[in-house]
């Protein structure tokens, strides 16, 4: 609940300046710190000044409000506030659209939406002609979708120069860069409403972060006046360790020597009822310690925090396109993140932030901004999306990104798309690819769905795709101690008939379906109710889209498994069409696997898998995997037993792969794949953009990979 009245919002003092700048320029960067009111006021200012006469105003956000915090009518904080201030019912003049929920009407003139939803709209209306203004809010968070949108906006303002205004809100540290991207457009600075935060740096890095956090927390508790403490850790493990040690040390403090304390862990896999504890105020004369992952950096705002302890690390997922493997690494945070964390101490009154690193380290070691997601992800989905837009004036490899992904990452995406028939051997999108782009799924799953439709197991594949979309949010996480207790009470959940995790996902959902989607059943089986409901929603949405594509009813009904397909052969075959490039072959005498994709690697089945071994203790000869993830070792996560002949068609395509053709021309040289307008961005100073590889190097790599593949294929055929 905000206590700042409208008149106090800093952004309003700049109204004339903002309107004048927007009038004269197609794109404006707005640097507005927390509390400036930019999310709620920019749209209203432009509405007041007539910008809604020719269309509506879109305000995009990278995410909706965390599901645990809100009632069903507050998907965006800003959204509710704007409708109140304009004194109109939500969903009329002011509406919102998120996945599964469109609360807009013909009357809507200001529309809040996630950037993913705007991308979907753009698919059916590439010029986004209904909008006169598009505000990309929180663009500094640089989500994958925001980056795609930034590129599309740059293009769109050329096409709609006369009737479109774009506003991009950003952080202090990278506003210049965004401005350069948009041909040096003006930057407006709007101050925030945060209270001052005193920053204390350590003189050196501690040997143990947990110890250092522990000591700092106790110092605060014994020496500083009241106010809650927020501590940023990298993951559940460290959080649990710190929480238990902090509890122990605080108990040992002399009674009456300081106020009471409560300690709350906070991370995404915590059940909602434990997450919301941090929103209820503490009892009187009691200090709260919140030991949290990054979730408290942007997603959840905890009121009452006065002290922040920031060790300077975060766990980050990144994709390596040359191996097709994800890794989850602990990395240093960026300056933007460090400032965001510090700001969490100044929301209600002046605060303090203790950084467990030196000011020199802040200045010299930390990157200005976090490496954008687009440089850390597999791009198959985004590339397929862009291809389906039919931007005839641009080559996909020249698409103008604020931070271009590496050539390797683009090439990897093209190869993946080719192998699942989404693009042809010249790199043009196929009709299959167009259909795949309509589905809100990663391309490999879209492909599986379409194949399953041909094989008569569409319904099952819809379930698997939906379950995989929610997967990580399904199981309620157990702390280590609870895990030990559970060992003797084995799960009643089906085991995938030993065929692997995909099949288990299918069986779980079918069982839930038989209970008529009973929430008690979820709890009994240690499944997150929210996660399972999400699966149901995704499945429903996929059904609707599939039926729309097919222009008629399809067999999408969830049903008990049919007698004639006891071993799920059709489904597992269909999976091979989507995941043919993610096939692994077991080693001769042990349970390690080697992958048979572009680059062969030694990997293990993830310990959480339900894949079963045979009488001799061996796993199946071939499996397909959903993803490779390197944690302590390289693992295949979510595997499914398959048979070699099912994958042959994909292998035949691998053999004929000519990647230079896929990327738009056999003679394409290294220079040609630079983005358009490269001149504008030569000195973007980010240094994050990975350089494109020389063409000869690429070709020799591909040749070598092909030889290895042919050698393997010879063996496999024996």
Binding site for DNA (CB under 7 A): 62-64, 66, 98-99, 114, 116-117, 119-120, 143, 234-237, 267-269, 293-295, 299-300, 314-317, 328, 440-442, 469, 471-473, 478, 480, 483, 487, 606-608, 629, 631-633, 635, 637
Considering the complex, state which of residue 426 and residue 486 has its C-beta at the smaller distance from DNA. 486
How far does CA 40 lie from the centroid of its chain? 24
CA distance 618 to 622: 11
CA distance 378 to 400: 18
Give the helix, strand, coil percentages of the chain, each rounded to 5.
45, 20, 40
Beta bridge partners of 28: 167
Cβ atoms of residues 139 and 147 within 8 Å: no
Considering the complex, state which of residue 122 and residue 497 has its C-beta at the smaller distance from DNA. 122
Query: How many CA atoms within 13 Å lie on the side-chain side of 239?
Result: 25
Considering the complex, state which of residue 143 and residue 339 has its C-beta at the smaller distance from DNA. 143
Report the sign of the C-alpha dihedral through residues 523, 526, 530, 532, in that order.
Answer: negative
Shortest Cβ 144–DNA spacing (Å): 8
Considering the complex, state which of residue 41 and residue 316 has its C-beta at the smaller distance from DNA. 316
Angle at the Cα of 518 from the Cα atoms of 513 and 522, rounded to 5 degrees = 95
Shortest Cβ 187–DNA spacing (Å): 27
Shortest Cβ 324–DNA spacing (Å): 15
Nearest residue to 463 (alpha-carbon basis) of 578, 556, 569: 556
Cβ atoms of residues 201 and 362 within 8 Å: yes
Nearest residue to 443 (alpha-carbon basis) of 471, 463, 414: 414
Shortest Cβ 688–DNA spacing (Å): 17
Considering the complex, state which of residue 153 and residue 436 has its C-beta at the smaller distance from DNA. 436
Considering the complex, state which of residue 224 and residue 438 has its C-beta at the smaller distance from DNA. 438
Shortest Cβ 151–DNA spacing (Å): 17
Strands 325-332 and 313-320: antiparallel
Shortest Cβ 625–DNA spacing (Å): 11
Considering the complex, state which of residue 419 and residue 629 has its C-beta at the smaller distance from DNA. 629
Shortest Cβ 299–DNA spacing (Å): 4
Cβ atoms of residues 186 and 19 within 8 Å: no
Considering the complex, state which of residue 472 and residue 544 has its C-beta at the smaller distance from DNA. 472
Q: DSSP string covering 115-151, please?
A: HHHHHHHHHH-TT-TTEEEEEETTGGG--HHHHHHHH
Shortest Cβ 631–DNA spacing (Å): 3
DSSP state of 196: P
Shortest Cβ 499–DNA spacing (Å): 19
Considering the complex, state which of residue 61 and residue 507 has its C-beta at the smaller distance from DNA. 61
Shortest Cβ 357–DNA spacing (Å): 20
CA distance 197 to 215: 21
Q: DSSP string covering 433-489, please?
A: HHHHHHSSS-HHHHHHHHHHHHHT-HHHHHHHHHHHHHGGGTBPP--HHHHHHHTTS
């Amino acid at each position: 609940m905000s206590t700042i009245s409208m008149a106090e919002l800093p952004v309003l003092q700049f109204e004339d300046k903002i309107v004048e700048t927007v009038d004269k320029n197609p794109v404006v960067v707005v640097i507005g710190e927390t509390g400036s009111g930019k999310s709620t006021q920019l749209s209203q200012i432009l509405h007041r000044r007539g910008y809604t006469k020719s269309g509506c105003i879109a305000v995009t956000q990278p995410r909706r409000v965390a599901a645990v915090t809100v009632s069903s009518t507050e998907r965006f904080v800003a959204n509710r506030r704007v409708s109140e201030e304009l004194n109109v019912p939500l969903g009329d003049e002011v509406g919102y659209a998120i996945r599964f929920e469109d609360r807009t009407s013909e009357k809507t003139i200001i529309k809040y939406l996630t950037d993913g939803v705007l991308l979907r709209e753009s698919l059916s209306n590439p010029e986004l002609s209904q909008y006169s203004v598009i505000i990309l809010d929180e663009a500094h968070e640089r989500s994958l979708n925001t980056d795609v949108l930034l590129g599309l906006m740059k293009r769109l303002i050329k096409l709609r120069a006369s009737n479109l205004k774009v506003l991009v809100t950003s952080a202090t540290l990278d506003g210049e860069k965004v401005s350069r991207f948009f041909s040096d457009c003006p930057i407006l600075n709007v101050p925030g409403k945060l209270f001052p935060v005193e920053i204390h740096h350590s003189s050196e890095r501690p040997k143990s972060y947990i110890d250092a956090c522990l000591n700092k927390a106790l110092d605060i508790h014994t020496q500083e006046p009241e106010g809650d403490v927020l501590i940023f850790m990298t993951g559940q493990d460290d959080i649990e360790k710190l929480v238990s040690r902090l509890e122990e040390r605080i108990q040992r403090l002399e009674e009456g020597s300081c106020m009471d304390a409560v300690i709350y862990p906070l991370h995404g896999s915590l059940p909602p009822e434990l997450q919301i504890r941090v929103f209820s105020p503490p009892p009187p004369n009691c200090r709260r310690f919140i030991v949290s992952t990054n979730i408290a950096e942007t997603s959840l705002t905890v009121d009452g925090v006065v002290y922040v302890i920031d060790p300077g690390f975060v766990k980050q997922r990144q994709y390596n396109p040359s191996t097709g493997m994800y890794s989850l690494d602990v990395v240093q945070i960026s300056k933007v993140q460090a400032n965001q964390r510090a700001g969490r101490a100044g929301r209600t009154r002046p605060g303090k932030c203790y950084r467990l690193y030196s000011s020199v380290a802040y200045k010299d070691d930390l990157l200005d901004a976090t490496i954008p997601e687009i440089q850390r992800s597999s791009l198959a989905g985004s590339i397929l999306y862009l291809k389906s837009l039919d931007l005839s004036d641009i080559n996909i490899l020249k698409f103008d990104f604020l931070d271009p992904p590496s050539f390797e990452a683009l090439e990897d995406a093209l190869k993946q798309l080719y192998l699942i028939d989404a693009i042809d051997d010249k790199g043009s999108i196929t009709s299959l690819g167009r259909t795949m782009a309509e589905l809100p799924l990663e391309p490999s799953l879209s492909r599986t769905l379409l194949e399953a439709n041909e094989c008569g197991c569409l319904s099952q594949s819809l379930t698997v795709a939906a379950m995989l979309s929610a997967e990580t949010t399904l199981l309620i996480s157990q702390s280590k101690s609870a895990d030990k207790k559970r060992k003797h009470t084995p799960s009643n959940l089906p085991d995938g008939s030993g065929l692997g995790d995909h099949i288990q996902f299918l069986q779980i959902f079918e069982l839930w379906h038989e209970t008529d989607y009973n929430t008690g059943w979820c709890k009994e089986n240690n499944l997150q109710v929210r996660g399972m409901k999400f699966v149901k929603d995704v499945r429903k949405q996929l059904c609707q889209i599939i039926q729309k594509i097919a222009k008629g009813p399809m067999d999408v009904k969830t049903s008990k498994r049919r007698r004639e397909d006891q071993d799920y052969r059709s489904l597992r075959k269909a999976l091979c069409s989507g995941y043919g490039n993610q096939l692994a072959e077991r080693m001769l005498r042990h349970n390690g696997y080697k992958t048979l994709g572009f680059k062969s690697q030694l990997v293990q089945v993830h310990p959480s898998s339900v894949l079963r071994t045979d009488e001799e203790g061996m796993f199946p000869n071939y499996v397909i995997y959903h993803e490779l993830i390197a944690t302590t070792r390289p693992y295949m996560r979510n595997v499914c037993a398959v048979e070699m002949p099912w994958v042959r068609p994909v292998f035949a395509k691998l053999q004929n792969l000519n990647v230079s053709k896929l990327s738009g021309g056999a003679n394409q040289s290294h220079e040609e794949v630079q983005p358009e307008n490269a001149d504008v961005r030569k000195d973007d100073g980010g240094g994050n953009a990975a350089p494109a590889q020389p063409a000869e190097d690429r070709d020799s790599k591909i040749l070598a990979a092909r030889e290895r593949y042919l050698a393997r294929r010879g063996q496999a055929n024996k």
